[in-house]
Structure 1
């Protein structure tokens, strides 16, 4: 089946209430690709980046994921330029905890004073009084988790952030974190080809925690001519990327895919994936056809 057209396709992805009170369309947008090479510096075409963000919102996207480290701060500043003053239903999720020293370089820093500094900078760069969802980008093994999350709890108590999330964690990490703070989301690598975070997804689903898969469209070899994703996509009359996103949306009601792109055409293509409907049988067949070596 092909994806029909509609002015706001993201509305068809269904909704999820992050933290019980931030209702978003489940198909969102990730802003990492709006930066320069190595997620460093400004994009080649800043005007196109602004158009991408505005087009995503026009298409019904009301969850935008970003981070202080994207640029650094480039993505947050572009979001402000493109969308401020923000639509009342727009949720912007940002992250802190990875410092940048150059293109492709990422260093965990979870010292409380650093996390507070970055939160304050994100507030300024996004132009908001409160960050809806503030995620610890990585747990810093050199700093007690209680200190890292304790600072985020303090920021929440001060009204500077609304909800707390985590990124790239295990089930054990999630359990420890939930003893220290209310955790409403988790952002892990997960896609049709790499389901190594299956146990984290299952934990999130059982506790009504939003699961934000990063790198959600990992088609690669799967979409090669004659490959399993290429054939299935052709049978449905859609692109491999759209089918991969439709698979994620079908997988769990807490799944919040955030495909990123620096192209208006691609954001339109990705968002149209919300209109692709898979039956349970089609979902199971695709899951079996694309075996993840880490799934199970």
Structure 2
């Protein structure tokens, strides 16, 4: 028996149909945090090709930037005026620390300014989805999200935001956020947190993992990946993405790249079919 992992649509927030294989904008300004800056022309070309290949869900943030090369600016320059059905998700919360890394958390009063800056940078009147990123660079858990999420909920009531999500949270923080306002998305590291994923499935909440290459569980055995990839005529990265999409109907993958060839490789994973035997072998 085979399981199609073609990126069927998921209704984000219940009313925004998006392809389950989207695009993450983090690597548009630079390949790695300490790597060289990419040219704006490169990022614009990648974004336009991504949309040509069927991407209608782009994940970004104001802190995806290196010098004057900023992901939000590239998105606006490449894609505005935006086509109907293109969903742009952003996240707010982190502020630059002394080393320039987004390691300081914004206060509730500062969140309005961050949202308004995203509106200006992206050139829109309303943001489709805003995730509250919690915890800076630390692991999920250990602090309240209610006051900050309530600040974003006020902006949602004002019409500046369509849907809200949370990022880098544990089950208790998700539950707390849901007492404040509807949660459309959880954007988290995915490391066998199957209980949280199951909760998202039951509630119809999108689950969007950080760094999706890894097939949903870490670590995947390289030899198994290579064996399955060779057998079905795919690359290891494509198998990882296909496995991720097969893991849950609420799973949205947002692989990021600043390279056109890599983009083509990632998007081809949407047509990949894994058998039950393939999945069992990959899971070990």
Q: Unpaired runs of 5+ in structure 2? A: none
User: 1:281: how far off?
Assistant: 2.9
Distance 1:99 1:181, change over 3 A: same
1:44 corresponds to which of 33, 38, 41: 38
The CA distance in 2 between the partners of 1:272 and 1:189, in whole Å, is 23
Match of 1:186 in 2: 186
The CA distance in 2 between the partners of 1:63 and 1:15, in whole Å, is 10
Which is further off, 175-184 or 70-79? 70-79
Taking only aligned residues, the RMSD between alpha carbons, in angstroms, comes to 2.4
2:212 corresponds to which of 210, 216, 223: 216
Match of 1:268 in 2: 264
The CA distance in 2 between the partners of 1:157 and 1:80, in whole Å, is 25
The CA distance in 1 between the partners of 2:219 and 2:200, in whole Å, is 29
Aligned pair 1:118/2:114, yes or no?
A: yes
1:280 corresponds to which of 247, 272, 276: 276
Aligned pair 1:69/2:63, yes or no?
A: yes
Match of 1:138 in 2: 134
| Aligned positions, number | 272
User: 1:143: how far off?
Assistant: 7.8
User: 1:110: how far off?
Assistant: 3.5
For residue 101 of structure 2, give the secondary structure of its aligned residue in structure 1. Answer: coil
TM-score, with structure 2 as normaliser: 0.89
TM-score, with structure 1 as normaliser: 0.85
Residues 225-264 of structure 1: pairs in structure 2 closer than 5 A: 227-264=223-260
User: 1:91: how far off?
Assistant: 0.2
User: 1:39: how far off?
Assistant: 4.3
Contact 2:88–2:128 (CA<8 Å) still a contact in 1? yes
The CA distance in 1 between the partners of 2:98 and 2:229, in whole Å, is 38
Contact 2:221–2:282 (CA<8 Å) still a contact in 1? no
Match of 2:8 in 1: 14
The CA distance in 1 between the partners of 2:274 and 2:47, in whole Å, is 28
Distance 1:215 1:78, change over 3 A: same
